[in-house]
Chains A and B, each alone.
Chain A
Amino acid sequence: MADAPLALLAELTHRCPLRCPYCSNPMELARASSELTTAEWARVFREAAALGCLQLHLSGGEPTVRRDIVEIVAAARAAGLYSNLITAGVLLDAGLMARLVEAGLDHVQLSVQDADEAGAERIGGMKGAQAKKRAAAALVRQSGLPLTLNAVVHRQNLHNLSELIAIALEWGAQRLEVAHVQYYGWALANRDALLPTRAQLDAATGIVDAARLANRGRLVIDYVVPDYYAARPKACMGGWGRRFLAVSPMGEVLPCHAAKSVTGMVFPNIRDTSLEAAWTGSDAFNAFRGMAWMPAPCQGCAHAERDWGGCRCQAFALTGDAAATDPACALSPHHAMLAAAVAEAGEARFRYREFS
């Protein structure tokens, strides 16, 4: 029997004014016409709360492109979920901010692509974005809601990490996520342009450690490390189908937002089934639960119940087999692929995300 999930990621839409080359959305983006309705999302939230979810991440694409974003937040609050708006901030104005607070929004996570304005707008692929983000941060702060800044870091902005931390303080964030790019989908297509050097990674880790100490009690910094330089894989999502589920814009129920990259897997849709049936009874969620599915290096490994064999999507992306040991593990027969990828990196140009 599966434990109850703790958090739901609701990907309300794939539409977004930004075109970040490491976007976590699938390569095949959903059109507006296929998106779930307000009532369908409200049903998902009620079922998620009944199933045991406590936190809800409202994401996208850009969630505020939905005209019903205020009703969606209100539905989350009515279901009793703690709501977190994950936004690029470029569409936020004072009127919308006030209505979101009134609807019961609990927290805002604002993305920032770089500290340098020209760099940020090149990476995000949107002119004028940085000034709008700065204004959005001010609106959140004035509203009294807590603010987290999310900085995805990589080869082309890591030289500005200290300035990104300074921006988090200047913009009034209480939390900062410094998240190294994870390589699936769009990010994998741009890996040569994004993968940092070992020296960049070591410098970044040193900067984060020092900033945590210097800003204790003022700014909490969460640090997501890249696994291309690791000897052990990350316990992705705390294990497949253990703590977390995601629902895509068109209603697919996923063990993680990248799971659609595992081609050939069939995921349940909330238009055909309940969230509970998807979580407890679907083949997709049960495929990599427990340890029976694990391949040789994982079977009997002391780390098996700590890292759960690593990330299924990364295993699939790199080896073509979602049931393989994550190549990030030094015990994987494919571990050398990561060092080879690092050696090849160094491309400057991006392939921006776009609707196909």
Chain B
Amino acid sequence: MIPRFAPGVRLHEDKARARWIVMAPERMFIPDDIALEVLRLVDGIRDEAAIVALLAAKFDAPVEEIGADVGAMLEDLIAKGALAHG
């Protein structure tokens, strides 16, 4: 699966409040730290496995463990309408 942002959705740095925010049509939500790590790697080109590999390397953690977390996170972000299946 290649995740991509849903139409009209993008990650935005909220400098005034020192946080990142997911902007969507007439709404916005604040991703938690783990969701933010995943969203920063969503570019419509990388597939789920590539995202998992990058995060496993970054956090020096087993691919299986990271893979389960990322899978659940992507499902959640798709359910919220922030991401879509590529």
Contact A148 B23 (CB under 8 A): no
Contact A82 B23 (CB under 8 A): yes
Known: A52-B17, A54-B21. A106 touches B8 (CB 8 A): yes
Known: A4-B17, A52-B17. A146 touches B25 (CB 8 A): yes
Known: A145-B8, A146-B7. A107 touches B16 (CB 8 A): no
Contact A106 B17 (CB under 8 A): no
Residues of A within 8 A of B13 (CB): 80
Quote the shortest CB–CB distance from A353 to chain B (angstroms).
25
For A141, the closest partner residue in chain B by CB is B7
Contact B16 A148 (CB under 8 A): no
Q: List the 3 shortest-distance A-B pairs measured between CB atoms, nearest first.
A: A52-B16, A146-B8, A107-B25
For B25, the closest partner residue in chain A by CB is A107
Residues of B within 8 A of A145 (CB): 7-8
- Contact-residue size bin, chain A (C-beta under 8 Å from the other chain): 20 to 34
- The residues of A with any CB-CB pair to B shorter than 8 Å are 4, 6, 50-52, 54-55, 80, 82, 84, 106-107, 109, 144-146, 148, 174-175, 222
For B79, the closest partner residue in chain A by CB is A217
Contact A148 B21 (CB under 8 A): no
Residues of A within 8 A of B6 (CB): 146
Q: How far is the CA of A178 from the CA of B10 in the complex (A)?
A: 26
Q: How far is the CA of A84 from the CA of B10 in the complex (A)?
A: 14
Q: Find A107's partner among B14, B17, B21, B26 (CB 8 Å cutoff).
A: B26
Q: Find A106's partner among B14, B16, B21, B25 (CB 8 Å cutoff).
A: B25
Residues of B within 8 A of A175 (CB): 25-26
Residues of B within 8 A of A50 (CB): 16
Contact A54 B14 (CB under 8 A): yes
Residues of A within 8 A of B10 (CB): 82, 106
B54 interface contact, C-beta 8 A: no
Q: How far is the CA of A198 from the CA of B16 in the complex (A)?
A: 44
Contact A148 B25 (CB under 8 A): yes
Q: How far is the CA of A82 from the CA of B21 in the complex (A)?
A: 11
Contact B26 A55 (CB under 8 A): yes
Choose among A54, A82, A109, A174 the residue with the greatest number of B CB atoms under 10 Å from its CB: A82
Q: How far is the CA of A54 from the CA of B20 in the complex (A)?
A: 11
Contact B16 A144 (CB under 8 A): no
B85 interface contact, C-beta 8 A: no
Q: How far is the CA of A51 from the CA of B23 in the complex (A)?
A: 17
Contact B7 A4 (CB under 8 A): no
Contact A55 B28 (CB under 8 A): yes
Quote the shortest CB–CB distance from B33 to chain A (angstroms).
20
Quote the shortest CB–CB distance from A216 to chain B (angstroms).
11
For B8, the closest partner residue in chain A by CB is A146
Quote the shortest CB–CB distance from A245 to chain B (angstroms).
14
Residues of A within 8 A of B12 (CB): 54, 80, 82
Residues of A within 8 A of B16 (CB): 4, 50-52
Supply 10 further A-B pairs (C-beta < 8 A) apart from A52-B17, A145-B8: A54-B12, A55-B23, A55-B26, A80-B12, A80-B13, A82-B23, A84-B25, A106-B8, A107-B26, A175-B25
Residues of A within 8 A of B23 (CB): 54-55, 82, 106
Known: A54-B12, A107-B8. A148 touches B17 (CB 8 A): no
Residues of A within 8 A of B26 (CB): 55, 84, 107, 109, 148, 175, 222
Quote the shortest CB–CB distance from A58 to chain B (angstroms).
13
Residues of B within 8 A of A222 (CB): 26
Q: How far is the CA of A208 from the CA of B10 in the complex (A)?
A: 29
Residues of B within 8 A of A174 (CB): 7, 25
Residues of B within 8 A of A54 (CB): 12, 14, 21, 23, 28
Q: How far is the CA of A222 from the CA of B26 in the complex (A)?
A: 11
The digit string for B1-39, where 1 denotes a CB below 8 A from any CB of A, is 000001110101110110001010110100000000000
For B21, the closest partner residue in chain A by CB is A54
Q: How far is the CA of A222 from the CA of B7 in the complex (A)?
A: 19
Quote the shortest CB–CB distance from B84 to chain A (angstroms).
11
Q: How far is the CA of A148 from the CA of B8 in the complex (A)?
A: 11
Quote the shortest CB–CB distance from B5 to chain A (angstroms).
11
Residues of A within 8 A of B8 (CB): 106-107, 145-146
